[in-house]
């Protein structure tokens, strides 16, 4: 299921023993474009503090609950590392956070959630109480902690790879021959929390239309200049299948979109990652 990032904002987050707070931002890593943390405002409970909650902690799919249910206690959240979400979060800060919760490092592995798990859902599935959650997380972490820690220790102290979705929403998208529009949201795959598409509001370029651009199609991101560069032309964008916001994005429409731009679908790559014995033929 693809979820619009807008639908995740202001979502209540529920611990095992009570409410934690409200989702106010989403952090993704700028290497693989995967949602890594919900930024949760705790309100008066923790004196206005904002905390990070990993999708790894979730126990129920979003569609099955009006709240984000997580396999954590309020006490765990209260004593979690104090990370200033108003400043860039470094990989070293993440190490402290992940070590505290016993989560595996997601970098340095063979897939988007590290070598220990195919995705966050595989870690959190079936976790209904704190003991089971901690045991599963520790088991996954031990499988690859040493390699990831060695990788992290060789990185500079200011190694920042987390980006705020609320900030990146202001970025402009530039095609090979001019501006397309501005990012207005993201479509996130709930099964593994990868960002599958940026939703781009075309504005004056193609008034009244939103288009989808996959992070996999990006040529470059100028983080200091708030620009994303893609290789297709403005005409190719106009000729692409129309994206409608009044209904779900079905796989047939995704296939049509990927075929139009000449890119293989992410669903084929995931089959290869999780089942290498079923390697699919390369796209023409």
Task: Give the domain CATH number at 212.
Answer: 3.90.50.10
Residues of the chain with pLDDT under 70: 63-65, 109-110, 115-158, 269-284
124 and 6 in a common domain = yes
- pLDDT tens by residue, 7-20: 899 999 999 999 99
Q: In this structure, is residue 282 part of a structural domain?
A: no
Question: Do the beta carbons of residue 123 and residue 57 sit within 8 Å?
Answer: no
Q: According to the model, what pLDDT value does residue 122 have?
A: 42
Q: According to the model, what pLDDT value does residue 206 have?
A: 86
189 and 102 in a common domain = no
CA angle 27, 30, 35 (to 5 degrees): 35
Q: Could you list the residue range(s) of the whole structural domain that residue 234 is in?
A: 169-273
123 and 259 in a common domain = no
Q: According to the model, what pLDDT value does residue 48 have?
A: 86
211 and 74 in a common domain = no
65 and 203 in a common domain = no
For 269-278, b/e burial (b = at least 16 CB within 10 A) is ebeeeeeeee
Which of 162, 181, 197 is at the close of a domain? 162
186 and 155 in a common domain = no
Task: Please tell me the distance from the alpha carbon of residue 156 to that of residue 90, in angstroms, as a whole number.
Answer: 9
Q: According to the model, what pLDDT value does residue 179 have?
A: 95
Q: According to the model, what pLDDT value does residue 279 have?
A: 36
Q: According to the model, what pLDDT value does residue 276 have?
A: 38
196 and 65 in a common domain = no
- pLDDT tens by residue, 254-264: 999 999 999 99
Which of 162, 178, 212 is at the close of a domain? 162
Q: According to the model, what pLDDT value does residue 277 have?
A: 37
For 39-53, b/e burial (b = at least 16 CB within 10 A) is bbbbeeebeebbbbb
The closest of 211, 69, 169, 204 to 128, measured between CA atoms, is: 69
Q: According to the model, what pLDDT value does residue 161 have?
A: 87
185 and 155 in a common domain = no
Task: State the total domains in the chain.
Answer: 2
What does residue 194 show for φ and ψ, rounded to 5 degrees? -80, 145
Q: According to the model, what pLDDT value does residue 258 have?
A: 96
Q: In this structure, is residue 31 part of a structural domain?
A: yes
How close are the terminal C-alpha atoms of the chain, in Å?
27
258 and 158 in a common domain = no
Q: According to the model, what pLDDT value does residue 115 have?
A: 60
Predicted TM-score (pTM) of the model is 0.82
């Amino acid at each position: 299921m693809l979820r619009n990032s807008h639908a995740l904002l202001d979502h209540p987050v529920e611990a095992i023993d009570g409410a934690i707070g409200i989702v106010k931002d989403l952090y993704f890593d700028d290497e693989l474009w995967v949602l890594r943390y919900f930024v949760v405002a705790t309100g008066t409970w923790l004196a206005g503090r904002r905390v990070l909650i990993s999708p790894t902690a979730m126990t129920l799919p979003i569609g099955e609950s009006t709240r984000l249910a997580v396999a954590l206690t309020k006490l765990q959240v209260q004593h979690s590392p104090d990370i200033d979400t108003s400043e860039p979060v470094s990989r070293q800060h993440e190490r402290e956070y992940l070590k505290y919760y016993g989560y595996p490092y997601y970098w340095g592995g063979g897939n988007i959630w590290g070598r220990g798990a195919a995705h966050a859902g595989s870690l959190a599935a079936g976790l209904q109480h704190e003991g089971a959650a901690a045991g599963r997380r520790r088991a996954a972490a031990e499988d690859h902690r040493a390699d990831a820690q060695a990788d992290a220790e060789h990185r500079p102290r200011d190694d920042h790879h987390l980006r705020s979705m609320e900030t990146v929403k202001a970025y402009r998208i530039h095609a090979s021959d001019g501006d397309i529009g501005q990012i207005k949201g993201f479509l996130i795959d709930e099964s593994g929390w990868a960002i599958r598409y940026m939703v781009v509001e075309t504005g004056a370029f193609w008034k009244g239309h939103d288009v989808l651009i996959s992070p996999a199609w990006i040529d470059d991101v100028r983080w200091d200049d708030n620009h994303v560069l893609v290789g297709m032309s403005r005409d190719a964008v106009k000729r692409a299948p129309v994206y409608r916001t009044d209904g779900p994005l079905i796989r047939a429409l995704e296939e049509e979109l990927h075929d139009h731009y000449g890119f293989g679908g992410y669903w084929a790559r995931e089959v290869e990652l999780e089942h290498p014995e079923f390697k699919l033929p390369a796209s023409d």
